[in-house]
Amino acid sequence: RHNFDWKLIIAQIYQESHFDPYAISTKGAQGLMQLTEAMATEMGVTDTFDPHQSIDAGVARLKNLYDFYDNATGWDRVYIALAAYNVGVGHMLDARNLARKMDLNPDRWTSMVKTLPLLSQYRYFRDTIYGYCDGKQPLKYVRRIRSCYDILNYHHPGP
């Protein structure tokens, strides 16, 4: 429905919850797609532990993020959307603004790999809108999804 490769979604679900529909994160996110209370409300989810609702809402949220970053292309766009799913649009805005200040292209994943980790350093996050961020976390998140996707793609090539 949202034109994502099913293997990418499976890889994301694995990273989010390890396929446990009753998973709860230390920050309170729930279900297969680790929906926050705010995201669940925004997406009309009544039961975050219902796999159908969780996946529908999580994939729709990823699609919204993918559409939002429409200046990025190809896998850069996918990775930026995934990172935003993990760390939030605000911290991605800060990382992208920092990329611009450093004369890096904010629509390239390689730029985000450089700027996101800087958001944990005071000299960088003090001038941001959204403040401190453990910028290494979304990098690990995307890397793990990519690894899982690569394994799935190896065993199930094609759509």
Q: Supply the residues annotated as catalytic.
A: 16
Q: Torsion over CA of 100, 106, 112 and 117, rounded to 10 degrees?
A: 30
As a residue count, the chain comes to 159
- 29: how many CB neighbours lie within 10 A of its CB? 18
Q: Give how far Cα 50 sits from Cα of 6, 19, 86, 96, Å.
A: 19, 12, 20, 34
